A and B are shown apart, each in its own frame.
Chain A
């Protein structure tokens, strides 16, 4: 039976993500002065789990790095080293590199070898710096399986050689590696000394150094089975418990590649002599393993097929020849249902398929609803009742399926404590980060897409918004700047706000910058229009370019990203009080609220998030600017009119000829408003969004398609694209109209 391990990779990736997140959040919160033992254990366990999984599923690079990390954390956890700020930095750096490697295994960009070796060396230096033992040097991993380990050797020394000072000899070995004595030699039984010796030296090198003190025929060195390909499995033979000394030794009934079975332990019958059995036999050398601590020794009842049957035995109870079964009442616990029963991992593709099917169902249901409206309500009472029940059920089903894709925004927010900590350190600023509404849920598809834009906004706030402590104090503010990330639901949208209490946006500087870049601006622009300018490509008011921000790339990309998710971004700012940037996103990409409009024979859908109002224009409100098309005056503001008929090349649209007989839908995209000219408003409803690109091809100005109740396909307009098409000429025309009026 061959098993394809790659089928388990996704779960491994997911759980590694969780472990890395745990590691980071614990590291960020750890109190260096008095680290909490449970915290240290949690970090260690995270590294340990990643290592185990990585080695199992063949990610040697992850396993190698986590192995070193685990070494360091183990020392800290056991108290042989103190946790330092440098260690926390190193561990955080390791976490980043691991996340990068994980990304590479998922098909992303490979992590630079230099970054990996740099963090490995850093960790190794730390391991070496604090412990009494020299650091284990980790060899580069060659195979795709196990993490590299130091060589572990069994060294057996004949005892009682008259000229040999054993303690001194062993002392000399500790200079070369880690040593633990398995069995002290001597005594009446003339037992040999047996030690386990771990070092980077090969067996022959150890033999060479031993040969200075003891002649080669009096010691034997054998290799431990620490490598992945041997000795990881065994079965134990019976061995005796020496009750007075509470030590016992095990026999291996059976040992082979990576697996072992223990034979049951037999209780020493009335003997107080410490007896020891063979654990391992090879080339005439035996080994005994001590058992640490008092152990309940199982009594052997009988033996078959390489394993024994035990009966529990109370320690220090003299055992009769006939085995007795001492029934120890285990504390009955309330049966806690483990988490594994309450959640299942489902591939996102399956959820998407389900969502799609539900979408089809909703379309069919709305078709039925529409067709049934023509039926006689009395005659078809039962059918109509059924259809309205179907409508209710399919709506509930749709909501239930959508909720499966919903993920708390904490998945995005959780990265920011780290981002803020690192950046504040770099910029020499003091920041207090507050996160509100982390449990607000949004579509999983947005989670990944939100990370970059939000990171950019946070960096911007820290770099340009929050002032240095000196400046803040001079302004009468507290030296510590405050950055708040807030998420909340509002209607069928989710709103995410990034608020800082920094200097705020500088209106004059933005306008000056805009003029400098030859942008057509006037002092009459409203604040929100001025703030909107920073989303222009290549716009930056940073007086100096830092490596944090100020290269003038970014805000336009942020805006584009948010718009591509069907969302919008707004800025609110006050000098010296700070800035709030709010992102508004639909709850899901699959279902959307929209307004359906008719242009000629065709139906188009305008996403409701862009719609401000609709109106029927009167002739005096219309104005034509030569070469610039038509404008409409809406409450004193001239907005460019975009005829959808002209935009999409319809010849059958009546609106194109006479706007006063048509409808204008006022939309806003990115702080820029325009009026779309359509023949008729049909209605407002929820639409199931279908991807146009996958079903047909990419169409300029369209963000998707939907199927109407009557089975017709309607295209969903991409308002931000249409707005961008018209922005430049239209802005000029609007100013022209203003000056004409003046």
Chain B
């Protein structure tokens, strides 16, 4: 019994009226699916990557308004991805949100130092994610 989803496209007119593009990087297929579904339902365009290296490749091949990344991933982890992204001129100012199961201060500090815009602790509620994304990119 799927819940009824209202497809509200609350996109702020950002000049070109294009939907905002979000890259979600997570090694967990179910979390990716949830993030993608949640954001697509709200009118965002979503691209997925399964790990840090894939995320970096996608980011370089395309342009995004917002990047969500998990911290704990095989290969390149979230912090290293954020560091790598911040070295790219195209992503110097792009909001990057770190999704992490660790809410420890140390993790927050590491994230901040790596260049994250903010953090969101797993588990999170889809509505919560949407509020945060709206807050960041409208």
Contact = CB atoms under 8 A, between A and B. Distances in A.
Interface of A: 1-5, 7-9, 11-12, 14-15, 42, 45, 48-49, 51-53, 55-57, 145-146, 180, 182, 196, 224-226, 228, 231-236, 248-250, 257-262, 265, 279, 287, 289-293, 295-298, 301, 305-312, 325, 327-328, 330, 332-333, 335-336, 338-340, 345
Closest 6 CB pairs between A and B? Answer: A232-B121, A338-B54, A295-B113, A261-B118, A4-B3, A12-B30
Contacts of A259: 118-121, 124, 128, 131-132
Given A249-B109, A250-B112, A261-B136, 7 more contacts: A1-B8, A1-B42, A3-B5, A225-B103, A261-B118, A279-B105, A295-B114
A333 to B, nearest CB: 6
B29 A11 contact: yes
B33 A8 contact: yes
B57 A260 contact: no
B22 interface: no
A291 B118 contact: no
Nearest to A51: B101
Interface of B: 1-6, 8, 27-34, 37-38, 41-42, 48-51, 53-54, 56-58, 60-61, 72, 74, 83-84, 86-89, 92-93, 95, 101, 103, 105-106, 108-124, 126-128, 130-132, 135-136
B50 A335 contact: no
B30 A310 contact: no
B109 A291 contact: yes
Contacts of B57: 333, 335-336, 338
Contact of B123 (A9, A146, A226, A340): A146
A368 B123 CA distance: 57
Contacts of A234: 108, 118-119
Nearest to A11: B30
Contacts of A307: 95, 117-118, 136
Nearest to A2: B3
A11 B32 CA distance: 10
B93 A310 contact: yes
Given A15-B28, A250-B108, A228 B54 contact: no
Given A226-B103, A307-B95, A291 B113 contact: yes
B123 A228 contact: yes
B132 to A, nearest CB: 5
A306 B123 contact: no
B71 to A, nearest CB: 10
A49 B56 CA distance: 21
A225 B33 CA distance: 27
B115 A296 contact: yes
Contacts of B28: 15, 49, 52-53
A330 B84 contact: yes
A292 B29 contact: no
A325 B92 CA distance: 9
A292 B109 contact: yes
Contacts of B32: 340
21 contacts: A1-B5, A2-B4, A5-B126, A8-B34, A15-B30, A45-B72, A45-B74, A48-B101, A49-B28, A55-B101, A57-B30, A228-B121, A228-B123, A259-B121, A260-B120, A261-B117, A279-B105, A307-B136, A310-B92, A338-B48, A340-B32
A339 B50 contact: yes
A291 B126 contact: no
B118 A338 contact: no
B131 to A, nearest CB: 8
A9 to B, nearest CB: 8
A332 to B, nearest CB: 7
A3 B126 contact: yes
A307 B93 CA distance: 9
Contacts of A260: 108, 118-120
Given A15-B29, A48-B72, A236-B118, A248 B113 contact: yes
B85 to A, nearest CB: 9
B8 to A, nearest CB: 7
A292 B132 CA distance: 27
Contacts of A5: 34, 126
B81 to A, nearest CB: 12
Contacts of B50: 338-340
Contacts of A312: 86-87, 92
B46 to A, nearest CB: 12
Given A1-B127, A259-B132, A340 B118 contact: no
Contacts of A297: 113
A7 B2 contact: yes
A5 B128 CA distance: 14
Nearest to A41: B74
A379 to B, nearest CB: 55
Contacts of A2: 3-5, 127
B30 A233 contact: no
B118 A333 contact: no
B3 A306 contact: no
Given A55-B122, A335-B60, A340-B50, A291 B112 contact: yes
A233 B128 contact: yes
Most chain A beta carbons < 10 A, residue from B5, B72, B84, B119: B119
A145 B123 contact: yes
A310 B123 contact: no
Contacts of B136: 261, 305-307
A98 B132 CA distance: 33
B107 to A, nearest CB: 10
Contacts of B121: 228, 231-233, 258-259
Contacts of B86: 296, 298, 310, 312
A306 to B, nearest CB: 6
A289 B105 contact: yes
A253 to B, nearest CB: 9
B72 A49 contact: yes
A370 to B, nearest CB: 44
| B54, B92, B130 interface centre (most CB from chain A within 10 Å) | B92
A1 B112 contact: no
Given A1-B6, A250-B109, A325-B92, A56 B124 contact: yes
A56 B34 contact: yes
Contacts of A328: 87
B120 A232 contact: yes
Nearest to B129: A259
Contacts of B53: 333, 336
B59 to A, nearest CB: 10
A311 B92 CA distance: 6
Contacts of B111: 262
A145 B128 CA distance: 14
B119 A233 contact: yes
A262 B8 contact: no
A7, A8, A250, A292 — which one has the most chain B CB atoms within 10 A of its CB? Answer: A8
Given A236-B118, A328-B87, A231 B103 contact: yes
A248 B109 CA distance: 9
B6 to A, nearest CB: 6
A332 B60 CA distance: 8
Contact of A345 (B29, B106, B117, B126): B29
